[in-house]
Amino acid sequence: MRADLATSYGEERLPRYTSYPTAPHFSPAIGEGAYAQWLAELPAAASASLYLHVPFCREMCWYCGCHTQIVRRDGLIAAYLRTLRSEIAQVSETIGRRIKVEHIHFGGGTPTIMAPEAFAELMAAMRQAFFVLPSAEIAVEIDPRTLTADMVEAMRLSGVNRASLGVQSFDPVVQRAINRVQSFEQTASVVDMLQRAGINGINFDLIYGLPHQTVASCLDTVRRSLELGPDRFSVFGYAHVPAFKKHQRMINEAVLPDGLARHDQACAIANALKDAGYVQIGLDHFARPDDSMAVAFEQRTLRRNFQGYTTDKGEVLLGFGASAIGHLPQGYVQNEVQIGAYAQSIAAGHLATAKGYGLTDDDRLRADIIERIMCEFSADLGDICARHGAEAGAMLKSASRLKPLISDGVVRLDGDRIAVAKDSRFLVRSVAAAFDAHLDPAKQLHSRAV
């Protein structure tokens, strides 16, 4: 990674491009009626992925950027899960058939906060409403500090085969600064429980750019994580947006690493994981060479959605729960963010869609370009534009942000094919942003590019 480029581009606020257009461009003009119509129009052969959002935690991690709230009473969780099961039935009825499902992902919050029997009931409701394929990947995000043996057994019996563990950092100084004290021993115990249950797909989430974090502490976290042998790592830069996430104001900005320090941390983590034999995948993922994600990367079939990089090839993502986002061929939809408003909509027999976005032909073209850049660090504009009935030359001409990236050596242009230079791949979001027709740099809506 080139430090000069990290200094030049690293302070830009840019999307992570888990969708295009991104969520800030969703509008209330797309509501329940549009979503119902889109669901009813799904092709007979369509298959889907399901995302279920469980917006509860026992305590707040100050770095968190998710939609979640702190709960002490399990009754609130139980009521929410009843609403979630009702929404699942409503969506299935609107589609009019049991659509095939290839991927299920539980996110949060802390999905494993629910009672084990409630998790089993939720899985049973999904299997009743949808045809969950025997080969489906069923993944759950886990806080190792609260996972119980009973929950692991419920996950096993329900067919869960992938677990994503929040680690962030093993440095106790960093942990105290972000209000997430989690020992190595706790994490190791959870990995052991999962593997004994046959849940062998293990992901670790790490974060750089946290308060008091250094290159040395990042490398120590990687070293200790490698002892536990996860299949995949997700390595994210901390997004400090206290204007949007008020609990982040508990973090002392004076001890946050600057752009160059963040660059050094990201570089150190990436090099350590590659030295350990992991394949670097796109912006922020690393996987063992025989992992399905590494295979998809090698075969150029890797995709990107709201969970990040994915092996999911489907065009339909159904989101359930407060704030959940879905993606259909016609566009995006997002549920009510506030749990109360979400629950009221479902209780009244309505879909909980609060806003969304209807895709245009130009959006679909740019989405394909951006996805290939984010997944492969390159894009054949001639091929992609031809498939959309567009001209590569016109697309290049419209991408004015590309010119300085080319002159700085970040991007190579060979005819109609663009490629991100290997030593500049950490700026892939900057390259993708060159094709973002909706981006307004004046609005500080996103995290720093590095």
ω into 109 cis (within 30 of 0): yes
Domain with CATH 3.80.30.20 in the chain: 19-320
Burial of residue 414, with CB atoms counted within 10 A of its CB: 0-12 exposed, 13-18 middle, 19 or more buried: exposed
Can you give the pLDDT at residue 443? 62
Task: Kindly state the helix (H) or strand (E) to which residue 327 belongs, with its residue range.
Answer: strand 325-328
Can you give the pLDDT at residue 176? 97
Question: CA quadruple 340, 345, 351, 355: dihedral positive or negative?
Answer: negative
Query: Distance between CA atoms of 98 and 47, rounded to whole angstroms?
Result: 10
CA-wise closest residue to 130 among 104, 108, 105: 104
Range 19-320 classified under CATH 3.40.640.10 = no
Q: List, in order, residues 6 or more apart from 55 with CB less than 8 Å away.
A: 66, 67, 68, 69, 80, 108, 109, 321, 322, 323, 339
CB 392 within 8 A of CB 416: yes
Chain segment 136-157, per-residue pLDDT in tens: 999 999 999 999 999 999 999 9
Q: What is the mean pLDDT of residues 381-393?
A: 97
Task: Kindly state the helix (H) or strand (E) to which residue 154 belongs, with its residue range.
Answer: helix 149-157
CB 333 within 8 A of CB 34: yes
Query: Distance between CA atoms of 420 and 339, rounded to whole angstroms?
Result: 41
* Other beta carbons within 10 Å of 420: 23
pLDDT band at 442 (very low <50, low <70, confident <90, very high): low
As a whole number, the mean pLDDT across the chain is: 94
Domain with CATH 1.10.10.920 in the chain: 1-18+361-450
pTM: 0.93
Residue type, 305: N
In the chain, % of residues over pLDDT 90: 85
Q: List, in order, residues 6 or more apart from 276 with CB less than 8 Å away.
A: 222, 226
Check pLDDT > 90 for residue 314: no
The conformation of residue 424, written as its DSSP 8-state character, comes to: G
Check pLDDT > 60 for residue 447: no
Give the three-class secondary structure for 436.
Answer: coil
Can you give the pLDDT at residue 8? 73
Can you give the pLDDT at residue 5? 77
At the top level of CATH, which class does the domain 1-18+361-450 belong to?
A: mainly alpha
Q: What is the mean pLDDT of residues 337-352?
A: 98
Chain segment 258-271, per-residue pLDDT in tens: 988 998 999 999 99
In the chain, % of residues over pLDDT 70: 96
Chain segment 406-415, per-residue pLDDT in tens: 999 999 999 9
Residue type, 311: T
Query: Distance between CA atoms of 410 and 427, rounded to whole angstroms?
Result: 8
pLDDT band at 361 (very low <50, low <70, confident <90, very high): very high
Question: CA quadruple 111, 116, 121, 124: dihedral positive or negative?
Answer: positive
Query: Distance between CA atoms of 425 and 431, rounded to whole angstroms?
Result: 9
Q: What is the mean pLDDT of residues 349-362?
A: 98
